[in-house]
Amino acid sequence: MAGRNFLFVPGPTNVPDRILRAMMVPMEDHRSSIFPELARACLNGLKPVFKTTTGTPILFPSSGTGCWEAALSNCLSPGDKVLTAVFGQFSHLWADMARRLGFDVEVLETPWGESAPVERYLAALSADPHHKIKAVLICQNETATGVTSDVHALRQATDSVKHPALLFVDSVSALGSIDFRMDEWGVDVCVSGSQKGLMLPAGLGVTCVSQKALEAAKSASSRRCYFDYKDMVVANGTGYFPYTPSLPMLYGLRESLTMLAEEGLENVFHRHHYLAGGVRAAIQGGWKLKLCALNPKSYSDTVSAIMMPEGIHGAEVIARAFTRYNLALGAGLSKVAGKLFRIGHLGDLNELMLLGAISGAEMAMLDTGVKVEPGSGAAAAQNYWRSNPARIVPAEAATAERKAPRPGVAA
């Protein structure tokens, strides 16, 4: 099909040309004397993204799922109790993994579309005076439903009852797009991946571990080998990896971190919030459809899950968008399969790219029998963005962007 494929699933996201170029490198010796420069640029460059000075970023050759497993198997012993809330497919999968790895999982079942129930976590922690719960898990941004939860509030709840459990956060579809604060929120393990806000292909598990988590790992007796934090931390300390790293991914990550720093992380969050506002205007104001997310306070700035009217199967809209308009939309997963489709709005994108996705989704819906007004979504998004003065790029960021070296252009 002529023209570009419009990739609007909530990860993998569009990889900017600048990153693609940075990744096109010949292979080199990952044990050379100059390799540590690249490794350190990546590992140190991740600290501001996690908002940490005391945590240790770690890169596994995996996806986010590998970092879920690493968090559990490094910090816990078989049979340890973990507390989590399930309110979408990804929070479900992490809880399921914990069960399969032999932990005692207490699940706070929560309707899909709601956010993590902090008051129920608090009740469970209060009812645990002997501190049997060793880790509390939360999914910051539930990609299946487009719901963001309040990690800081969970930390405050844990502290309010002086519970020593470790706090593990899945920030796979939030890190680098929605604010995350490792140190300030007292997060012990943050789990993420390369293919979302970091604008890279899938292939790197990107995680960050607190001193407390590393301390816990010393006595935790779960079996682990490939995902052992200790092997990584020891090798990374010398500027190397315990096994062969993917060079293109590291070069890509270094470029991604440079791009995020140039735009300014706060500006990146701001852009996501502003762009998400336009998408929501299209869905609710233009198409008069409902989001899966129930509470406006927890609307996700990286993904919107759009409920389909009775009698319409979301998969048909997605199939039509793909085959007729070359637009990839996200599917409804598990419990909400067929009931919704998702638009990912994270990573490297702007208003006009999103207008393509909105218009494509609108045409696919019209073709499959959804009664939306032609042009209504795009018009609502345009009106939102044009009347919203929020997208002001501070002068320093704009200057940095202009000064950034462009391949093939003399400085």
- Check if the beta carbon of residue 315 is closer than 8 Å to that of residue 136: no
DSSP 283-327: IIIIS---BS---GGGB-SSEEEEEPPTT--HHHHHHHHHHHH-E
Nearest approach, Cβ of 143 to ligand PLP (angstroms)?
A: 3
Instruction: Using the minimum distance from each CB to ligand PLP, give the nearer residue, 97 or 261.
Output: 97
CB of 65 to ligand PLP, least distance (A): 3
Q: 186: helix, coil or strand?
A: coil
| Residue listed under structure tokens 């960050």 | 208
How far is the C-alpha of 307 from the C-alpha of 297, rounded, in Å? 18
Instruction: For residue 371, give both structure tokens.
Output: 């009664």
Tokens of 239: 């500027």
Minimum separation from the CB atom of position 62 to ligand PLP (A): 7
Report d(CA 209, CA 52) in Å as an integer: 10
Closer to ligand PLP by CB, 174 or 275: give it: 174
At its nearest, how many Å lie between ligand PLP and the CB of residue 50?
16
Q: Within 13 A of 55's CA, how many CA atoms are on the CB side?
A: 28
Q: Rounded distance, CA 128 to CA 132, Å?
A: 6
Question: Which residues are registered as beta bridge partners of 142?
Answer: 147
Q: C-beta of 172: minimal distance to ligand PLP in Å?
A: 4
Cβ within 8 Å of residue 26, ≥6 positions away: none
- Token readout for 212 is 């407390």
Nearest approach, Cβ of 194 to ligand PLP (angstroms)?
A: 8
Smallest distance from the beta carbon of 393 to ligand PLP, in angstroms? Answer: 28
CB of 140 vs ligand PLP, minimal distance in Å: 8
Minimum distance from residue 33 beta carbon to ligand PLP (Å): 33
**Cβ contact 156:196 at 8 Å:** no
Whose Cβ is closer to ligand PLP: residue 90's or residue 185's? 90
Return the number of the residue (169 or 217) whose C-beta is nearest ligand PLP: 169
Q: Long-range pairs for 305-309 at CB < 8 Å and ≥24 separation?
A: 305/144, 305/145, 305/146, 305/330, 305/332, 305/336, 305/340, 305/341, 305/342, 306/340, 306/341, 306/342, 306/343, 306/361, 307/339, 307/340, 308/338, 308/339, 308/340, 308/341, 308/370, 309/370, 309/371
Q: Which is nearer to ligand PLP, 106 or 142 (CB)?
A: 142
Question: Please, what is the minimum distance in Å from the beta carbon of residue 105 to ligand PLP?
Answer: 16
The angle that helices 247-263 and 265-280 make with each other, rounded to 10 degrees, is 80
Q: Which of residues 146 and 277 has its CB atom nearest to ligand PLP in the complex?
A: 146
Q: Which is nearer to ligand PLP, 11 or 314 (CB)?
A: 11
Interface with ligand PLP (CB under 6 A):
11, 63-65, 90, 139, 141, 143, 170, 172-173, 193, 202
Closer by beta carbon to ligand PLP, 133 or else 200: 200
Cβ proximity to ligand PLP: between 197 and 377 the closer is 197
Find out whether 144 and 131 touch, Cβ atoms under 8 Å: no
CB neighbourhood size of 261 (10 A): 15
Q: Which of 75, 144 has the CB closer to ligand PLP?
A: 144
